[in-house]
């Protein structure tokens, strides 16, 4: 009988600090429910979407907005022994040199999904809902739409809407900011 080694978030962070994963630096891994999970390398469409969302994130929040835009960097979810690496995350400003942002600091979390669609809309959606993340978007590359999850309750999102091309989405934290799904799916990150 084999048993998988489960790690706590603190153990995982200490292993990173101790260099335990240095030999794996070319592999993308994240901690989900105490398990190390290898992430699929991003393809060109995935990378282009992340770049576009990053540029949109940096150019469109109101000038008075106090946010930090994180791209493919971890957030810590201690109660679930998880440290996922969302594609784009807007967090409140803070001192993140000692630990990654926690769910209460997340204003908007975005995953870009092609081969990871089932996980991003299933297990990860449940993980983020249980953590209380109020605004979670999945950019569905194959469906050319954005799935928006809101109103976390009881480990699930009570509200799930689909926004195909031709629609606009507004982050809960900044309702004056608009993401055009048409622009997301038809322009590159450097195009106007």
Q: What is the pLDDT of residue 190?
A: 57
**Burial (CB count within 10 angstroms: exposed 0-12, middle 13-18, buried 19+), residue 154:** exposed
Instruction: Report residues of the chain scoring pLDDT below 50.
Output: none
Q: Is residue 127 part of a domain?
A: yes
* Domain presence at residue 143: yes
Residue 181: the pLDDT is 96
Q: Is residue 179 part of a domain?
A: yes
What's the pLDDT score for residue 143?
96
Does 32 map to a domain? no
The domain tally of the chain equals 1
The answer as to whether 4 is a domain residue is no
The pTM is what? 0.89
The per-residue pLDDT for 11 is 79
18 domain residue, yes or no: no
pLDDT of residue 191: 55
In a domain, 12, yes or no: no
Provide the CATH number for the domain around residue 179. Answer: 3.90.1570.10
Rounded distance between C-alpha atoms, residue 17 and residue 192, angstroms: 41
At 2 the pLDDT is: 52
**22 located within any domain:** no
Residue 3, pLDDT score: 59
Check residue 13 and give its pLDDT. 80
Enclosing domain of residue 81:
42-186
User: Could you tell me which of 175, 181, 111, 115 has the C-alpha nearest to residue 149?
Assistant: 111
pLDDT tens track for 149-182: 999 999 999 999 999 999 999 999 999 999 999 9
Displacement of CA 105 from its chain's centroid (Å): 13
């Amino acid at each position: 009988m084999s048993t998988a080694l489960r790690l706590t978030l603190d153990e995982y962070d200490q292993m990173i600090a101790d260099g335990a994963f240095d030999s794996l630096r070319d592999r993308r891994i994240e901690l989900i429910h105490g398990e190390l999970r290898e992430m699929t390398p991003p393809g060109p469409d995935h990378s282009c979407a992340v770049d576009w969302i990053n540029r949109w994130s940096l150019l469109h929040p109101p000038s008075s907005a106090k946010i930090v835009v994180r791209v493919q960097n971890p957030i810590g979810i201690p109660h679930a022994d998880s440290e996922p690496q969302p594609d784009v995350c807007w967090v409140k400003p803070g001192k993140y040199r000692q630990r990654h942002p926690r769910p209460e600091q997340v204003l908007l979390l975005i995953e870009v999904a092609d081969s990871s669609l089932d996980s991003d809309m299933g297990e990860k959606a449940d993980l983020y809902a249980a953590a209380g993340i109020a605004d979670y978007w999945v950019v569905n590359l194959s469906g050319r739409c954005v799935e928006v999850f809101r109103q976390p309750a009881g480990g699930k999102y009570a509200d799930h809407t689909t926004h195909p091309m031709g629609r606009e989405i507004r982050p809960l934290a900044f309702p004056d900011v608009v993401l055009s799904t048409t622009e997301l799916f038809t322009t590159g990150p450097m195009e106007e």
